[in-house]
Structure 1
Amino acid sequence: MSTHHAEPSTTPIYDDDVDDTKGKAYDGPTTTVNTVEDGSPADDVEVDVHTHLRDGVVRNMEQRHIQMIALAGTLGTGLFLGSGKTIAHGGPAGSLIAYLITGSMAYAMLVCAGEMAVFAPISGGYIHYAERWLHPSAGFALGWQVIFQYCISIPSEIISAGILISFWDKSFTIGHQAAYIIAMSAFCIAIQFMGVRWFGESEFIFATIKIALVVGLIIAGLVVDLGGGPDGDRIGFRYWRDPGAFAPYHSPNSLGKFLGTFTNFVQAAGSYMGTELITIAAAEVKNPRVSVAKAVQRLFWRIIIFYIGSILIVGMLVPYNDPTLLQSTGTAASSPFVRAFNRAGIKALPSIINAAVLTSAISSGNSLTYSVTRMVYGMALRGHAPKVFARTTSKGLPIVSVTAVSFSYALAFLSLSKGSSTVLNWLSNISALSGYICWCIIGLTYLRFKKGVEAQGMDRKKFHYYNRFQPWPAYWVIFWCLIVIIFNGWEVFTKGNWSGTNFVINYINIPFFILLIGGYTLIRRPKFVKLEQLDFVSNIPTDEEVSYEEPEPKHWWGKMFNYIFT
């Protein structure tokens, strides 16, 4: 592995033997925040990124929770249902290349975010890091763009879950769909109000189901490919030869094969987006400097086994010219795994897969809700959102933020009206590419974080987690994100395919992000902080404040459980 992971100690977060003129907090104007009884900022206090704040959330999430969230938190409909479209567009090799490159981007992004999160496991996650170490306007713009993206994605996941239930409900009506939306929304909202411990437990269960599903599908697919199916047909790499490894897209020649592969980047990203959640959860997990470091390291194997393994198996079992790959029903009937097993004569799996994918959709809605409530809370804590959203209960629940975000579930009811559902789909498409902007900003933030650390004489090798190949992972994720952001809408410029609506959907994120940055800069006029003055001290807990020793299990099965999940 290309990482370093040290056990927690009682030493400071960085070497204090360095020159005492370096590594100090920003010495510009700051205000000590007076807090009200619930831990939120007092109404008469102006807060900013450099202020010493009392973080009102509580570390109630266990190590096993964040490990499972890291392993399977983003496994969902994008992989189980949407991967068939990638095979149809790019062929088995084109899909594999797209998932490999996008997976490398996800890992590169997370080693950047992970190093910052282990150093500063505080509320706001990567959004706060951007405003603190890149520029306040970048953090403000990133925060509100991601909040908008997630608030649109939450109802989309609930709608997807309702459609998955229609797989069994043969008399699926608008009334039934409304009832499913209400039930699943109430379930997810209830978990959020019960606190982070219950969120962690629910995601642990959902993640276990998803891991069991994907491992089972990979093993079953390999058995079928080697001739172990009912028909006894040994497939091997037959479909890589005929009809071929690459599917021509919009063009029958090599250009079409390239375009098919490139088009899959956005589709593949939908499977990986959300991996940055663990930096948001770092503020509420026990022993974050160990937990988050382990979670980042395990992402590498998750990408290789779950994502790359799955797309490789599907590409071996189904030819890219199978017309059923582009038939989207929103249920297990759309899954390329189901298509593959149906071709092999296995008919019993669709209901099992549909049930597991249903839990994935609910899990995604649950995780998105948790993430956006903590984003809103972190933004409010530092004056980038109304202060009322920074209020917490005595148990550390950001009650106002949770309440406000819960209203986004109401957007799911737009799916009951044909005209309104078009608007919702349009908004969902607009927010789809925000993830690449987010990853790009994380990479840029890390570069400045690293330069600031070096400028202040700190030794990254003494951090609890660092990546020895930096800054190359940061350059890698920035390069590919810019490529996809700029060229993702190439289809609208091809002959006969121009559409003003599609052009707006593909590129509206760019002016929206620039507008947020420009508006914040004009109104707040934040100062650009020099590398030597970047704040690596304020509000960052010491090792003593966040260290936690897991109780030693008394039985052998407990020891095995800890070995696997922590």
Structure 2
Amino acid sequence: MDVEKKAASGAEKDSQSAISVESHLDAREKDKVQRKLQQRHVQMIAIAGTLGTGLFLGSGFALQGAGPLGALIAYALVGTVAYSSLCAVGEMAAFNPTSGTFPHFAARWVDKALGFAIGWNYFYGSVMAIPTEISAAAILITFWDDNPNHAPAYIAAILVVMISFNLFGVRYFGEAEFYFCLVKIMLIIGLIIAGLVITLGGGPDRTRRGFQYWKNPGAIARAGLVDNIDADKFLAILSVIVQAAFSFQSMELVAIAASETESPRRNIAKAVKRVFWRILIFYILGVLITGMLVPYNDPELLHETGNAAQSPYVIAINRARIKVLPHIINAAIFTSAFSAGNSFLYSSSRVLFGLSIRGQAPKIFGRVTKGGLPLISVAFCSLFSLLTFMTVSNGAATVFGWLVNLTTVGGFIGWWVINCTYLCFHYGYKKQGFNRKELLYYSPLQPYLAWWGIFWATFFVVISGLQTWFKWNTSTFLTFYINIPIFIAMYFGYKVVKKTRIRRWDEMDFVTGIPTPEETEIPEVPPKNIWEKISSFIF
């Protein structure tokens, strides 16, 4: 904390005298959002904010593609990269809790051109994820009503409710996400318990499954790409990396919300520290149980419905002759899809707002209401949700699928930039004589964790379109890889036009526009009774 105060108060150092203060760094006069997200909101968003169909249904695709062990390896590996990225952005956000999050950090501590490129890249990925989750929610309704003529009405109803939560203000968004996250947490815990009971023979059918599917048909499935069995199994694991990554998408939401969070430094520190257990329990344990419920070649698992009927949990529950539970699971997964779309609308609007107040997006998106809501940004991002109606038409659904695939590599690029930015922050902070161990939050695994994230994010980008290497499809190849030249073009285009340069460690600005702890932190009130102590422990 002493270092934070010293940096925030503008301690006079020889190295600081060389810094060229740029107006875009200090957007305090334009950053008029208000800190209305409470501690319980932030902690719950960190625990389950972006849990959606990527985990509840996507784990079935991963099981089908790579087998139980292959899916477990893929999810565990991607989880470490997502965790490295969250630790990196969490430390930077706790140091500088202002609007713009990691695109601003990239512009501030690496290169303005990098901030521009990753900001628009992340914005695109987030707004395209909105219709993805809404369409998933609409498909989940087909579990009860499979009349295609009703789909537009369901989509419209979902859109109205979701957009309303964001237009009413961040407090309403926080309250909605708090209860949605409670439902998701109860769902995943309930599924894990139900899965264990069924696996151990506790269901009405009294069939003990255990690890029998790891033996027959096997622990790792074949990809069907090459003749060599071992090589083909290895390729199967790589082929589900993208599916696993979709489940971890936007875990950095808690850092994006830093500028609208009360006591952001303390609350972000708490949130990031708990994410490791979230990944271990919800993702890794969940995928492990999934692989024990059904074999990867199960006919019902291969039958794509888009609703809970294709979930390994529902398949196992139906076979265990448990009647009502599948309907409850489908309803909870529907809530998860809605919540994830709601979160993506929030994150995309805040990234756009952050770009605007620093001159990297049209000024109109930087306007806020008296209550601190970036209304124009929210309204603009809401327009992209209308793309969900494309899924009603078969031809439009194909185009929509291409647009969604474009975001996959964009997510990997985002993780890569976050970790690269952190390394610059880490070494620059050290170069200027500051001690990051005195910060309110720092990861003891850094900078090694960031190097790990950079290596694997690069690898994921390269192999994202792996199947097209063996079974060529031009449109599929382009949807996976065209984001790379687009990102490079945005970076160098902005660099040439604005004549930016990469910052040296000794000229990075750790002072301008960064609020002091006294400006952001509210004194923490100790719990007075047993219920407050339990609440403090959980949240």
Match of 1:173 in 2: 148
Alpha carbons of structure 1 residues 288 and 412: separation in structure 2 relative to 1, 3 Å: same
Counterpart CA distance in 2 for 1:534 and 1:202 is 39
Q: Which has the higher helix share?
A: 2
Any conservation in 2 of the 1:26–1:50 contact (CA below 8 Å)? no
Q: Report the Cα offset of residue 53 of structure 1.
A: 4.2
Any conservation in 2 of the 1:53–1:539 contact (CA below 8 Å)? no
Alignment of 1:115 with 2:108, yes or no, is no
Counterpart CA distance in 2 for 1:376 and 1:464 is 28
Alignment of 1:262 with 2:262, yes or no, is no
Q: Which segment is superposed worse, 151-160 or 294-303?
A: 151-160
Counterpart CA distance in 2 for 1:226 and 1:394 is 57
Alignment of 1:20 with 2:2, yes or no, is no
Instruction: Please list, as runs of the form range in 1=range in 2, the aligned pairs for 1:176-325 lying within 5 A after superposition.
Output: 176-250=150-224, 251=226, 253-325=229-301
Match of 2:445 in 1: 469
Q: Report the Cα offset of residue 54 of structure 1.
A: 4.1
- Deviation string, structure 1 residues 316-348 (Cα, Å, up to 9, x no partner): 111112122222211111111111222333232
Any conservation in 1 of the 2:127–2:384 contact (CA below 8 Å)? yes
Paired amino acid for 2:341:
G
- Out of 409, 415, 429, the position equivalent to 2:405 is 429
Paired amino acid for 1:325:
L
Structure 1 residues without counterparts, runs of 5 or longer = 1-7, 32-47
Any conservation in 2 of the 1:25–1:536 contact (CA below 8 Å)? no
Q: Report the Cα offset of residue 15 of structure 1.
A: 9.6
Structure 2 residues without counterparts, runs of 5 or longer = none
- Deviation string, structure 1 residues 503-539 (Cα, Å, up to 9, x no partner): 1112111111011112111211113322111111111
Counterpart CA distance in 2 for 1:317 and 1:420 is 36
Q: Report the Cα offset of residue 559 of structure 1.
A: 3.6
Counterpart CA distance in 2 for 1:64 and 1:305 is 20
Counterpart CA distance in 1 for 2:220 and 2:328 is 31
Any conservation in 2 of the 1:25–1:538 contact (CA below 8 Å)? no
Counterpart CA distance in 2 for 1:350 and 1:375 is 37
- The number of equivalent residue pairs is 537
Q: Report the Cα offset of residue 14 of structure 1.
A: 4.7
Any conservation in 2 of the 1:489–1:503 contact (CA below 8 Å)? yes
Instruction: Please list, as runs of the form range in 1=range in 2, the aligned pairs for 1:301-450 lying within 5 A after superposition.
Output: 301-450=277-426
Alpha carbons of structure 1 residues 10 and 441: separation in structure 2 relative to 1, 3 Å: closer
- Deviation string, structure 1 residues 76-129 (Cα, Å, up to 9, x no partner): 101111111111111111111111111111111111111101100110111111
- Deviation string, structure 1 residues 423-455 (Cα, Å, up to 9, x no partner): 111111111221100000001000100111011
- Out of 62, 83, 95, the position equivalent to 2:59 is 83
Match of 2:48 in 1: 72
Alpha carbons of structure 1 residues 440 and 198: separation in structure 2 relative to 1, 3 Å: same
Q: Which segment is superposed worse, 338-347 or 12-21?
A: 12-21
Alpha carbons of structure 1 residues 351 and 182: separation in structure 2 relative to 1, 3 Å: same
Any conservation in 2 of the 1:122–1:283 contact (CA below 8 Å)? yes
Any conservation in 1 of the 2:82–2:248 contact (CA below 8 Å)? yes
Matched position secondary structure for 1:466:
coil
- Deviation string, structure 1 residues 139-181 (Cα, Å, up to 9, x no partner): 10111111111222111211111111121124x233x211111
Q: Report the Cα offset of residue 16 of structure 1.
A: 8.2
Any conservation in 1 of the 2:8–2:511 contact (CA below 8 Å)? no
Any conservation in 2 of the 1:15–1:458 contact (CA below 8 Å)? no
Matched position secondary structure for 2:489:
helix
Alignment of 1:524 with 2:498, yes or no, is yes
Task: Give TM-score scaled by structure 2 length.
Answer: 0.96
Counterpart CA distance in 1 for 2:233 and 2:438 is 46
Counterpart CA distance in 1 for 2:177 and 2:524 is 20
Matched position secondary structure for 1:395:
coil
Paired amino acid for 2:94:
V
Alpha carbons of structure 1 residues 24 and 70: separation in structure 2 relative to 1, 3 Å: farther
Paired amino acid for 1:207:
C
Q: Report the Cα offset of residue 541 of structure 1.
A: 0.7
